């Protein structure tokens, strides 16, 4: 599954991170403000809610059929969104792209389970972040050359078709039985591994005594109540992390355009956020196992980057702020997702479904909230109001419990 995970994440990163620029260009084609097309950005979130709700059923036959279907649906959506001249066609493309991309998100944590999943997820997401850097510049280059920049989405179609051909359903197997050879993007799944007390440890993703964020791991909660509490906390952390990320993913291009850049120039300059994301995720893969507090530090960098994005009026400092924000945001999703996958007793299919639901909730709420605030105030104020409290809350929720535990001992 190593090759499939890499190709899937590359196609996912390119297509999803092109949505913000496509939103701006499509709004221009239709003669409407970008804020009126917030539904386009929310299509990915709606898809995540749909596949999350049906996650256990979709993964019942194994991850290969789910990945096969997700690749084909994403490819179809990319074609329609890239070529659609009418709002209805573009809407259909956005919905299909969002649904297919959500399927890829659903399958990935189900494949990358076991010890070291936080690092594996960081590496897989780093591949997506590197690929994502190509989307906005490709859109900007086409737009500057006089062509429709949305046509750049067609670049995602060949790898998606290759992925579909490579994952054609053969012998179906339960998701927990699908292991993979140890490799840069994969983690050996050990469904039969249990603790001496009989507790299922197949989802334990961190080194002994450590939480994926680098903080000391809490003692295993006993019973359903403890598992529910840990699951709810991990779910809320994913919502906060993805909300912060998609505030920038969707609205970076529009913020840069507000500084006076052209549509093509702002789409290209928005790559600054993706550069920071790629660098941060490559670094996170090394840091998560060394006790480094990646979430509190990441939240601090994201907050500082937000100030740079929101306060200046010139393009250069805004782009620098996007790079800094990307560096800080980068580890938040893979580490919080690894926490969810690592809840003892939570099956692979269920943890993948919960993760998709959390991401979908964030992707629906955050960009839409920014659009509403931006219409009432302005985009720079909306980013400050949305991102800073989320970053502060996530950092506090991660850092305070270990500090309180130490103070009691």
All domains in the chain, ordered by first residue: 2-191+198-408 (1.20.1250.20)
Q: Cα separation of 311 and 309, whole Å?
A: 6
Residue 97 makes CB contacts below 8 A (sequence gap 6+) with 15, 16, 19, 43, 44, 73, 74, 77, 78, 80, 81
Q: What is the CA radius of gyration of the chain?
A: 20
Return the pLDDT at 27: 80
Mean pLDDT across 388-399: 90
Mean pLDDT across 342-364: 85
* 8 has a pLDDT exceeding 70: yes
Q: pLDDT tens digit string along 171-209?
A: 544 444 444 433 344 333 333 333 333 333 333 444 444
Return the pLDDT at 116: 66
* 75 has a pLDDT exceeding 90: yes
pTM of the model: 0.71
Beta bridge partners of 216: 210
Q: Cα separation of 366 and 364, whole Å?
A: 6
């Amino acid at each position: 599954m190593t090759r499939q995970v890499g190709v899937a994440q590359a196609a996912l990163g390119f297509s999803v991170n092109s949505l913000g620029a496509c939103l701006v260009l499509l709004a221009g084609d239709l003669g409407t403000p970008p804020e009126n097309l917030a539904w386009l950005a929310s299509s990915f979130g709606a898809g995540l809610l749909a596949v999350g709700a049906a996650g256990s059923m979709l993964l019942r036959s194994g991850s290969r059929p789910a990945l096969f279907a997700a690749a084909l649906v994403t490819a179809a959506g990319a074609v329609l969104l890239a070529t659609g001249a009418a709002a209805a066609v573009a809407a259909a493309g956005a919905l299909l792209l969002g649904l297919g991309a959500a399927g890829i998100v659903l399958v990935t944590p189900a494949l990358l389970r076991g010890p070291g999943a936080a690092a594996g997820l960081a590496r897989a997401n780093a591949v997506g972040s590197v690929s994502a850097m190509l989307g906005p510049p490709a859109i900007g280059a086409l737009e500057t050359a006089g062509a429709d920049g949305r046509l750049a989405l067609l670049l995602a179609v060949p790898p998606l078709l290759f992925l579909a051909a490579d994952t054609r359903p053969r012998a179906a197997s339960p998701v927990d039985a699908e292991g993979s050879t140890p490799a840069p993007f994969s983690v050996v799944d050990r469904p039969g591994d249990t603790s001496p007390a009989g507790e299922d440890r197949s989802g334990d993703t961190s080194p002994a005594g450590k939480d994926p964020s680098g903080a000391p791991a809490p003692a295993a909660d006993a019973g359903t109540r403890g598992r529910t509490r840990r699951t709810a906390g991990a779910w809320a952390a994913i919502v906060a992390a993805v909300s912060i990320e998609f505030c920038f993913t969707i609205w970076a291009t529009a913020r840069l355009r507000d500084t006076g850049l052209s549509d093509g120039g702002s789409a290209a300059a928005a790559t600054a956020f993706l550069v920071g994301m790629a660098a941060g995720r490559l670094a996170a893969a090394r840091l998560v196992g060394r006790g480094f507090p990646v979430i509190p530090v990441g939240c601090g960098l994201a907050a500082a980057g937000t100030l740079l994005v929101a306060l200046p009026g010139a393009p250069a400092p805004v782009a620098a702020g996007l790079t800094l924000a990307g560096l800080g945001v980068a580890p938040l999703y893979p580490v919080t997702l690894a926490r969810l996958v690592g809840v003892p007793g939570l099956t692979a299919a269920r943890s993948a479904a919960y993760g998709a639901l959390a991401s979908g909730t964030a992707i629906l709420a955050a960009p839409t909230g920014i659009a509403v605030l931006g219409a009432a105030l302005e985009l720079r104020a909306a980013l400050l109001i949305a991102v800073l409290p989320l970053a502060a809350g996530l950092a506090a929720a991660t850092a305070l419990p270990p500090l309180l535990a130490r103070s009691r001992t």
